[in-house]
Amino acid sequence: MTRDAAPRPIVFAFNASGAETARRTAAAVGGETAGLAGRVADLDGVFEDAAGAVAEAFRAGRPIFGVCAAGILIRLIAPLLRDKQAEPPVLAVSDDGSSVVPLLGGLAGADVLARTVAAALGGAAAITGAGARRFGLVLETPPAGYVLANPQDAKRVTSDLLAGARARIEGEAPWLRASDLPQDGDGAVLLRVTAEEVPAPADGLLFHPQVLVAAFDRPDMATLEAFDAALARLALAPAALGVALAPEGAPLHHLFVEALIARGVPLRIVEQRLEDGETIHAEPGLRIHHFSAPVAPEDFGRAPGRVTVVGLGPGPRGWLTPDAAAALDRASDLVGYEPYLAMAPERAGQRRHGSDNRVEVERAQAALTLAAQGREVAVVSSGDAGVFGMAAAVMEALEAAPAGWPSVAVEVTPGVSAMQAAAARLGAPLGHDFATISLSDYLKPWEIIAQRLATAAEGDFVIALYNPASKTRREQLVRALDILRARRAPETLVALARSVGRRGEGFTLTTLGELDPELVDMRTLVLIGSSRTRAFARADGKTWLYTPRSYLDDEAGG
């Protein structure tokens, strides 16, 4: 579920000579800059691993500029190419700003961005898309405020126009009239611009201007259905709805919010009743306003706040999911335990609210309060936020104040947990039934931990021990081993996975009988095998650990 229309452009500079061009490029498109570590200083951010940084931006759908030779950018992007519809604009800019080359993402507006940047830098845009070059626009991607109703016809119509057909423009669309399209009152290609619900022209395109504003004084599904019915009676196109408004303090029904997201309609929270535009429909709970030109959502009130709980994964950027990366990028505020915040990619203009490790619920409350003020908040955990992480704390805070944060949306993004990462490095120790137990007795009495360890051991589960020990908390692991050793064979395989995916990563393969608790610290995950878990070495020297999927091969004589 993503709500954001436009991820922010990012401009990568690879050399000091391109820093100024990077800044001016970013300024022209409302983006941020990042410089290669050790080479370019004084930009919004730094990157060390160019391939990783570009991949992250690409997956988050952010328009990408590289102030570098086109070839460098092409090589960085090549492994990521798959889906033409989903690719963001990618543009190379020469370090002196004289050339701007859109490489990818013509449908996502790369040509328009190239023209914008070239104009700002006083350079030339090397537009290769024929329609964009000849007509100064891409019919597939109308500017903000207009929606193309029949995108499937855009390619054919563009070809017709390139082949010499003329365009007849009906309705108000200054961007069409000001373009280099061959225009003719009797043209064969009809470009129709109207808020009315009409069929698309057979030989042309239909654009809906977003001139409607719906004020939902009751923001729920029944009112949304009433809106659809009213629009149908008025013979207006649903796509002409530019923004939905809800009053400050009104409880937003989540289905209503999700339906708006699915329709791509931005929601804004307003303090006052809307008096502008012509009121074309009014009933209890709903008013529809018609404006003379497309509306900009930012002109109305404020965005509703949102809390997204994000798992950063155990360490490397490749283990940060694209959804989590997008949530971090769009966030105005990051909330979390200080060292985890330091793991999140830097982004200019973002506020960071670091805290101590043991104040999870206060931290969750603070996040919800920020969101109630309209902030876009990401609450970060390491690994998966739902596994001994912040997601449960956010739920706790939310449940304790059922009506406290009426217009706050809450989302949880899944992440890669330490046990998955450790298992992947080791082979497949979690290939069969397993149990996950935290040895922290900070919020959980030891008796419960002891009982769970005993039960899991008796059940012959593979056991992943989280929070096994810290500098001061050493006793628990020793006691846990006593419990496990009393119930499992001493030759049971055990893996200690330390700082997986981070600096200092290391693995120790041992057995339950020989395990030395001194090797275990708070960055370690302890994986105790089941009676079936096995290890084998290959000729390359690597030892793999896995738990077979089947119990049947014994019977089959294996």
Task: List contacts with ligand SAH (CB under 6 A).
Answer: 314-315, 381-384, 387-389, 417-418, 422, 466-468, 497-502, 522-525
Q: Which strands make up the sheet holding 99-104, listed edge to edge? A: 45-47, 32-36, 10-13, 64-67, 90-93, 99-104, 124-125
Closest approach, Cβ 482 to ligand SAH, in A, equals: 20
Closest approach, Cβ 388 to ligand SAH, in A, equals: 4
For residues 520 and 514, give the distance between their C-alpha atoms in angstroms, rounded to a whole number. Answer: 13
Closest approach, Cβ 523 to ligand SAH, in A, equals: 6
**Residue closer to ligand SAH, measured from CB, 286 or 526:** 526
**Residue closer to ligand SAH, measured from CB, 247 or 315:** 315
Number of Cβ within a 10 Å radius of residue 153: 20
For residues 305 and 372, give the distance between their C-alpha atoms in angstroms, rounded to a whole number. Answer: 6
| H or E segment and range at residue 306 | strand 306-311
Closest approach, Cβ 462 to ligand SAH, in A, equals: 15
Closest approach, Cβ 355 to ligand SAH, in A, equals: 16
**Residue closer to ligand SAH, measured from CB, 23 or 473:** 473
**Residue closer to ligand SAH, measured from CB, 65 or 466:** 466
Closest approach, Cβ 383 to ligand SAH, in A, equals: 2
Euclidean distance between the first and the last CA atom of the chain, given in angstroms as a whole number: 47
Closest approach, Cβ 527 to ligand SAH, in A, equals: 10
**Residue closer to ligand SAH, measured from CB, 145 or 529:** 529
Q: Which of 182, 142, 176, 177 is nearest to 162 (CA)?
A: 182
Q: Which of 360, 405, 460, 33 is nearest to 254 (CA)?
A: 405
Contact 498, 523 (CB under 8 A): yes
Closest approach, Cβ 538 to ligand SAH, in A, equals: 24
Query: Encoding tokens for residue 158?
Result: 């563009």
**Residue closer to ligand SAH, measured from CB, 135 or 466:** 466
**Residue closer to ligand SAH, measured from CB, 101 or 494:** 494
**Residue closer to ligand SAH, measured from CB, 116 or 355:** 355
SS3 90: strand
Query: Encoding tokens for residue 116?
Result: 């914008």
| H or E segment and range at residue 71 | helix 70-77
Q: DSSP states of 178-196 as a string?
A: TSS--B-TT-SEEEEE-SB
Question: Could you tell me where the DSSP H helices lie in 373-445?
Answer: 390-400, 418-426
Q: Where are the beta strands (DSSP E) in 154-272?
A: 167-170, 189-193, 204-209, 212-216, 241-247, 267-270
Q: Which residue is nearest to ligand SAH (CB)?
A: 383
**Residue closer to ligand SAH, measured from CB, 35 or 311:** 311
Closest approach, Cβ 418 to ligand SAH, in A, equals: 3
